[in-house]
Amino acid sequence: MSTQKAPSIAVRGVGKSYSGVTVLHDIDLDIAPGEVHGLVGENGAGKSTLLKILGGAIKADAGTLSFDGEQVSIGSPRDAIGHGISLISQEGALVPALSVLDNVFLARWSHRGGLVSARADRKRLTGLLETTGFSVDPDVRVDTLPIGVQQQVEILRALARGARVIAMDEPTAVLAEHEKENLLALIRRLAASGTTIILVSHFLEEVLSVADRITVLRDGALIRTGPAAETSPRALVGHMVGREIDVLYPDPRPVPDGSPVVLAARGLRRGLVDGVDLEVRSGEILGIAGLVGSGRTETLRLLFGADRPTAGVVEVDGVALTSNTPRAAMAAGVAMVPESRKEQGLVMQRSVAENVALSSLSGRRSGPFVKRPAEKTAVGEISKSVDIRAANPESPIETLSGGNQQKALFAKWLLRDPKVLLIDEPTRGVDVAAKTQIHHLITGLAADGMAVVCVSSEIEELLALSHRVLVLRHGRPVGEYPRGTTPEVVVAAAFGDHSQGETS
């Protein structure tokens, strides 16, 4: 797939720190041509930093980088591209308003006499689509595409630039199960044709299944590099956290008999969501499963009034919400931990304390003024109970790790003492330790009588936490499964075919 052979990469003594805090320290790493190299570690271990240094997005403070024994200097993404390295970052780097074609050949358009030649680009794109097996309409704007397809566009772009090394940061985090499989298959094919792939992922099974070798980072240091065949998820987690821990899910306490229905929705409709009915009882955790685009997140948003349904009612304690707005839902005792912390959940530049206090400000005021001592106490207590680890509650929340940010998001809603908690992706982008804490938090809240609705693309997590799982397909419930159902059955239902599920 690449015109030239991939170089062997040698990283020596690479380090990076931000205002005195070391995020990478003395990294030595060799990556062979055509290798799939997995990088794993908890949040804040330095995986993304290392990847960004290779991709030229940030500059290392110390150390050297050599390709085929020759020292190179990568000071910008442009340098990296020049050396055949392409970085596919978590956030994505597409220009939303441009077409697929323009994005794939961004700044590398074919031209003739100074004019861009779309025809030549089209031809090149057809070739790339054949090699990758993707099918994308070259003329649609990329912001109209689902996130999984956007990622394919990024991969196409990397290949169009003749990338011989592709570094991917959490590429599967945003993908549905079958899309993940496709991506992993593509990674294998690319590697087989000589492209080096560096893969950062939280999903250990995935890394194990696709990587030749795996490097574990912890607190900015390289702990070990070894063949994937010689390790296991448990051993990797052990290296990541410095000891063997059990990645065990807590069991939710059974829902007491006669527990009342707290949240009910009937005939919810809007966009993707095409008639959803559901009921959740006090103390119950209802999981909602489905592929990306099945309307899971959209359903949750309708329940909270984040979007206004075109039809249907939401009832709390048997009383229909007065209007479909977050304010009305909140007044009725509903809270929602949204899908994206950064975009929908937190005000990143404000302090931890301000964020945690935000949704319950009216509860602690005298006249127009914030009761600061009361706020300090309330925030302090809730932070302690969900275990937010912040050096200082007055520091900007963006300085916290993903896990602590997520815990702060829970804390913000728990301060309102809600009856119903809607959770979209409870542990996305969260390290292993915090993940377990959040799982315990959720089952604990349900045990105390809260009604919980949870959406997660991690099917194991969803099945482990939920009393009941509702499967959506094309915006409609297609099945409801009790606790103890296997992932295969649920995934098969999500795909709408009842043959064999294709997970694990």
Partner 1 sequence: MSVDTTPQAPATPSPAAANNMSRLAFRMRDYGIVAALVIIVIALSLSTDTFLTSGNLVNLLDQTAVLGLLATGATICIISGVFDLTASATLALSAIVGVQVGRVTDVYVGFAAAVLAGALLGFITGTVVVRSGVNSFVGTLATSLVYRGLAVMVTGGAIVYPLTQYAESFGVLTWPSLFGLTSATIMFVVVVAVLAVIVSRTTFGRRLYAVGGNAEAARLSGIRVGSIHVTAFMISGVCSALAGLILASRAGSAQSTMATGMELTAIAAAVVGGTSILGGEGAVWRAIVGALLLTLIGNGFNLLGWDTIYQQVLQGLLILFAVTMDRWLRKRTR
Which stretches of the chain bind partner 1, using CB under 8 A? 18-22, 25, 42, 44, 218-219, 241, 304, 306, 326-327, 330, 336, 338, 343-350, 354, 357-359, 361-362, 365, 368-370, 372, 380, 383-384, 387-393, 398-399, 412, 433
Which tokens belong to 385?
């109970």
Q: Among 173, 179, 209, which residue's Cα sits nearest to residue 191?
A: 209
Give the end-to-end CA distance of the chain in Å, rounded to a whole number: 28
For partner 1, the closer of residues 324 and 383 by Cβ is 383
CB closer to partner 1, 258 vs 368: 368
List the structure tokens of 434: 């915090």
Nearest approach, Cβ of 350 to partner 1 (angstroms)? 5
The token pair at 130 is 């054949």
Which residue number, 218 or 468, has a Cβ lying nearer to partner 1?
Answer: 218
Closest listed residue to residue 15, CA positions, set 63, 75, 80, 52: 63
Q: CB–CB of 312/266 below 8 Å?
A: yes
In the three-class reduction of DSSP (H, G, I as helix; E, B as strand; rest coil), residue 351 is classed as strand
> Residues 6 or more apart from 391 whose CB is under 8 A from it?
none
Of the pair 89, 359, the CB lying nearest partner 1 is at: 359
3 state SS of 23 = strand
In angstroms, what is the minimal distance from the CB of 143 to partner 1? Answer: 17
Nearer to partner 1, 32 or 370 (CB): 370
The residue among 394 and 497 lying less far from partner 1, judged by its C-beta, is 394
Nearest CA among 345, 346, 338, 359 for reference residue 421: 338
**Min separation Cβ 362 and partner 1, Å:** 7
Question: Which C-beta is closer to partner 1: that of 380 or that of 449?
Answer: 380
Query: Which residue bears the tokens 């349900």?
Result: 446
Q: Cβ 331 to partner 1, closest distance in Å?
A: 8
Q: Nearest approach, Cβ of 24 to partner 1 (angstroms)?
A: 11
372, two tokens: 């600061």
DSSP conformation class of 405: H
Q: Which of 300, 257, 501 is nearest to 420 (CA)?
A: 300
Are 418 and 280 within 8 A, CB to CB? no
Least distance in angstroms from the C-beta of 432 to partner 1: 10
* Least distance (Å) between residue 501 CB and partner 1: 34
